[in-house]
């Protein structure tokens, strides 16, 4: 009779919680070692972290550092354009707290980009989903196809990375976005299968929503839609909750996400594309007013 060690027992419970399946015993053994390393990293992070943020084991705790970095797929577009700015919203009278996803129900469910550096395609898609739904109310939200952008936007690098700035204009040029149902996500580079007959949403342009300050950005967001932003997410792997302070986040931009809400002066609520087993059911809160993780660098939205 073989008795499980406490660490193996906890690993098996973790596997069950996150529905993990490994192809071979060799992979199982390696994932267990990665899991043990994650326990040590989490303990060190919590020892040295702000009391406002917590780190722990989550759905990414069996990844190596190199595998985690695959999910950080932002690469600046080689063509940098002068993007028109949204007209700044009036700040007086804007709500002190607002959220397109958690309050207004104008976001599709949290997605998982899997082991593909397609965050840029997800951020673009998720903004367009919300912009289309907000502009077409009361029509229901329709999940759109990030795989279309991964496969068909030849100006970017698919699972090796890209930039929402380029992706929005790709969607304009190709004629819209197919539904996720007609063009499902695979987590791999594929051959373009875009079909104009399956287009569910169209956009006409993109715009910069920053406005000059985070307070103005919040007013613009509440008046417009969730914005795609780029951030330094290199420290996010083990985030499980709370407000990540600027002091624990760098400025080396490597990931595209969605700023969907805020509590003025306190935090931004940010939607990620790593599944609901990460963070606060797929979200992370970032300290407000300190350009945390570089969140004000590229603040974009599609326009109808």
- Look up residue 147 and give its two tokens: 């795989």
3-state secondary structure of 91: coil
Closest CA to 294 of 247, 252, 265: 252
H/E run at residue 189: none
Residue 177 near residue 201, CB atoms below 8 Å: yes
Residue 73 near residue 117, CB atoms below 8 Å: yes
Torsion angle of alpha carbons 118, 124, 129, 134, nearest 10°?
160
Residue 205 near residue 166, CB atoms below 8 Å: no
- Which residues carry out catalysis? 119, 255, 272
Residue 121 near residue 114, CB atoms below 8 Å: no
Pairs from 84-87 (Cβ < 8 Å, separation ≥ 24)? 84/205, 84/207, 84/208, 85/207, 85/208, 85/209, 85/210, 85/211, 86/207, 86/208, 86/209, 86/211, 86/220, 86/224, 86/301
Closest CA to 303 of 145, 198, 171: 171
Torsion angles phi and psi, residue 275, rounded to 5: 85, 170
Handedness of CA 258, 101, 86, 301 (dihedral sign): positive
Helices and strands in the chain, H and E counts: 7, 11
d(CA 182, CA 47): 47
């Amino acid at each position: 009779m073989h008795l499980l060690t406490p660490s193996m027992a906890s690993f098996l419970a973790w596997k069950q919680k996150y529905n993990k399946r490994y192809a071979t015993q060799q992979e199982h053994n390696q994932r267990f070692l990665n899991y043990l390393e994650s326990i040590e990293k989490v303990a060190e992070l919590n020892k040295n972290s702000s009391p406002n943020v917590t780190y722990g084991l989550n759905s990414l705790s069996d990844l190596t550092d190199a595998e985690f970095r695959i999910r950080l797929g932002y690469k600046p577009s080689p063509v940098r354009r002068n993007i028109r700015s949204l007209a700044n919203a009036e700040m007086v009278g804007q709500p002190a707290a607002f959220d397109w996803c958690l309050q207004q129900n104008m976001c599709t469910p949290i997605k998982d980009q899997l082991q593909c550096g397609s965050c840029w395609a997800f951020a673009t898609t998720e903004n367009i989903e919300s912009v289309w739904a907000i502009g077409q109310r009361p029509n229901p939200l329709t999940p759109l196809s990030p795989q279309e952008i991964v496969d068909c936007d030849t100006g970017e690098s698919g699972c090796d990375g890209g930039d929402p700035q380029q992706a929005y204009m790709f969607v304009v040029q190709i004629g819209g976005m197919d539904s996720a149902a007609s063009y499902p996500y695979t987590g791999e580079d594929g051959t373009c299968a875009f079909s104009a007959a399956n287009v569910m949403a169209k956009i006409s342009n993109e715009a910069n929503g920053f406005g000059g300050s985070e307070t103005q950005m919040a007013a613009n967001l509440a008046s417009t839609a969730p914005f795609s932003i780029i951030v330094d997410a290199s420290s996010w792997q083990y985030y499980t909750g709370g407000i990540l302070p600027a002091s624990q986040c760098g400025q080396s931009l490597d990931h595209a996400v969605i700023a969907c809400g805020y509590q003025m002066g306190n935090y931004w609520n940010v939607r990620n594309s790593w599944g609901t087993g990460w963070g606060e059911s797929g979200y992370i809160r970032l300290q407000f007013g300190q350009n945390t993780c570089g969140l004000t660098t590229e603040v974009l939205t599609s326009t109808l």
